[in-house]
Structure 1
């Protein structure tokens, strides 16, 4: 019984081993390279595959997905003899598992060395400034060379990127100083531009302000001149009307010799009020002088003794009417108002001619 049990266990183990050697499951996006007696036989796709046990053997399991490999920084000398450190990143994909297995022993190491040599060749023809600003051209050159060289290895290089370009520390300090100088220069230029624009705007504002002030002064002077002119016209018209009113009142009152003598007597105290008149002698013949005073003053004033004008003088409007200035016609309106005032002031007064009175003889009545 023990021997049968051992034999049964051996048979089970053999069956399990046979199944393991016969059935091969390949994951998705993988490819298995199968060898028979050490020679390439076939490539197994993803899924369940049957092998001949103990004859067929899976030599390599190749990953068909795109892979990313980052290489450490490599020292590269530029055209101007400066050493810079450049680290790269390679994106590649295995397209032919058989070529990747049998054409190259270690394709990742081969890609790394090929990248380093190609990078030194490309950067060696550039100076530092061009190297720092020509990442796209360097990437394109690297990708072209790597894709051409790795094609026979069953590998396609999809993309090459320069992860970093590090110049020497002394060069970094010089670059920082240059960058600061450039920024300070731009700041000074911008400040000068700002001050220039501010000065221009200030000058333009001052110019506009002076222009507006001058226009305001001009308008105010014009308005003041027009107001003074109209005030002068009103004063002239008022004086003319006052003279006409007094003249008309004298004619309406019909003054005689007694009134004139009375007015003369009222003026005598005022004549004596002067500070220089210390002594004032009244002549003894003042009575006789008073008799002929009325006729003398009356004749001198041109007022007839027995007749006064009965015709009233046209006084004109009691309130002077000045046309309101409007727009550009102000001067014309004012000139018309002046002409009207002058015509009213110069209008002749119609009076009855007074009879001619001869000077009276001394002590006698006046002769007509």
Structure 2
């Protein structure tokens, strides 16, 4: 083949390939191509396969329609109390109009950065440091409102604005740490004091309740003890009354006489001599007169007769009617006789040859003694 013809063929193929490359445009998804014809906007290419006039139409810009995130470096901002803080921000935006984003502003990223910095200084300049540190949501809302309004004509929608960090000066950080430490210590002291106060209140209430319960217990104890003493005294008095009634009834039922009282007196004489202080015990010679005086005194005071008649009851047999009617009388008569004999022997031993005086106790079975001779008249 002719080399000239071959060269021409190769040039033609290359030209065809170049024309096809200039004619066919493939735009990726979520992208938009701005086409200019002789330097003037002609159309916007959507995603997919697009055909343009080669060497006449030119795709000037390929705009990304996805939401973009741009982080700006920290910017110094002065607060209302003249403190310089460094604030770095993050902007979330999206291109909604590729034509406006291309022809309304030269560099919308840089424009957003500068607009964010100026707006941030304007908002933070009206706040003090404490309010700036605690008002992130308010600052974000203010920035988003201003940026969205300003970038609307650029074909850009600001979706969200975030403050990454607010860094005060080192000296302010130290002061804030000291203030925070002091505040925490203060709260700790307050909580400790409140705990001690609550504990003291609970302790006092417990002591009060304990004292009340102890007082109520003491009162109940005193009341129960008084009731027990009253019941005991009543029962003791009833017992004593019953005992006195039984003894009194037994004495009246037994019908005692002077002989029984004399016998009881003789039985009490040895008990009189008992004790360490009784060294000497003198039996009076006039024992019969003493017995007679004792009997007469008892007779006068208690109204006990010298001789009793009728059935005599013993205390030991009190309550047994059969024994009272049979052997009790004989046994009591024997006892009285023994007492009379003992008194007569004692009188005879004290005064041998003397006759019993009037009122002396003598044996009822002994023969009658002649009356004593009359005393001689006085000279």
Report the TM-score range of the alignment, normalised by the length of the smaller protein.
0.7 to 0.9
Distance (Å, rounded) in 2 between the aligned partners of 1:30 and 1:180: 54
Distance (Å, rounded) in 1 between the aligned partners of 2:287 and 2:201: 91
Q: Which residue of 2 aligns with 1:183?
A: 184
Residues 247, 36 of structure 1: alpha-carbon distance in 2 compared, 3 angstrom cutoff: same
Worse-superposed segment, 24-33 or 14-23:
14-23
Kept in 2: contact 1:288–1:363 (CA 8 A): no
Distance (Å, rounded) in 2 between the aligned partners of 1:201 and 1:220: 28
1:309, CA displacement in angstroms? 8.7
Q: Which residue of 2 aligns with 1:299?
A: 299
Worse-superposed segment, 150-159 or 60-69:
150-159
Q: Which residue of 2 aligns with 1:72?
A: 73
1:272, CA displacement in angstroms? 3.5
Distance (Å, rounded) in 2 between the aligned partners of 1:40 and 1:229: 124
Kept in 2: contact 1:258–1:294 (CA 8 A): no
1:289, CA displacement in angstroms? 7.1
1:225, CA displacement in angstroms? 0.7
Task: Point out the structure with max Rg over C-alpha.
Answer: 2
Distance (Å, rounded) in 1 between the aligned partners of 2:262 and 2:118: 144
Q: Which residue of 1 aligns with 2:19?
A: 18
1:125, CA displacement in angstroms? 2.8
Kept in 2: contact 1:30–1:64 (CA 8 A): yes
Where 2:159 maps in the other structure, the secondary structure is strand
Where 1:196 maps in the other structure, the secondary structure is helix
Where 1:303 maps in the other structure, the secondary structure is coil
Q: Which residue of 1 aligns with 2:37?
A: 36
Distance (Å, rounded) in 2 between the aligned partners of 1:363 and 1:191: 107
1:106, CA displacement in angstroms? 1.4
1:90, CA displacement in angstroms? 0.9
Q: Which residue of 2 aligns with 1:62?
A: 63
Kept in 1: contact 2:255–2:312 (CA 8 A): no
- Alpha-carbon RMSD: 2.8
> Residues 176-255 of structure 1 correspond to what in structure 2 (within 5 A)?
176-255=177-256
Distance (Å, rounded) in 2 between the aligned partners of 1:149 and 1:245: 126
Distance (Å, rounded) in 2 between the aligned partners of 1:174 and 1:288: 123
Q: Which residue of 2 aligns with 1:263?
A: 264
Q: Which residue of 2 aligns with 1:363?
A: 358
Residues 216, 231 of structure 1: alpha-carbon distance in 2 compared, 3 angstrom cutoff: same
Where 2:25 maps in the other structure, the secondary structure is strand
Q: Which residue of 2 aligns with 1:327?
A: none
Where 1:25 maps in the other structure, the secondary structure is strand
Where 2:278 maps in the other structure, the secondary structure is coil
Runs of 5+ unmatched residues, structure 1: 312-360
Kept in 1: contact 2:262–2:295 (CA 8 A): no
Residues 364, 135 of structure 1: alpha-carbon distance in 2 compared, 3 angstrom cutoff: closer
Where 1:183 maps in the other structure, the secondary structure is helix
Distance (Å, rounded) in 2 between the aligned partners of 1:219 and 1:182: 55
Aligned residues: 315
The answer to whether structure 1 residue 147 and structure 2 residue 148 are counterparts is yes
Kept in 1: contact 2:258–2:304 (CA 8 A): no
Residues 364, 171 of structure 1: alpha-carbon distance in 2 compared, 3 angstrom cutoff: closer
Runs of 5+ unmatched residues, structure 2: 314-355, 362-379
Residues 131, 365 of structure 1: alpha-carbon distance in 2 compared, 3 angstrom cutoff: closer
Distance (Å, rounded) in 1 between the aligned partners of 2:29 and 2:155: 19
Worse-superposed segment, 72-81 or 122-131:
122-131
Where 1:242 maps in the other structure, the secondary structure is helix
Where 1:306 maps in the other structure, the secondary structure is coil
Deviations 1:48-106 (A, max 9, x none): 21112222221111001111100000111222221111101111111111121122221
Kept in 1: contact 2:256–2:308 (CA 8 A): no
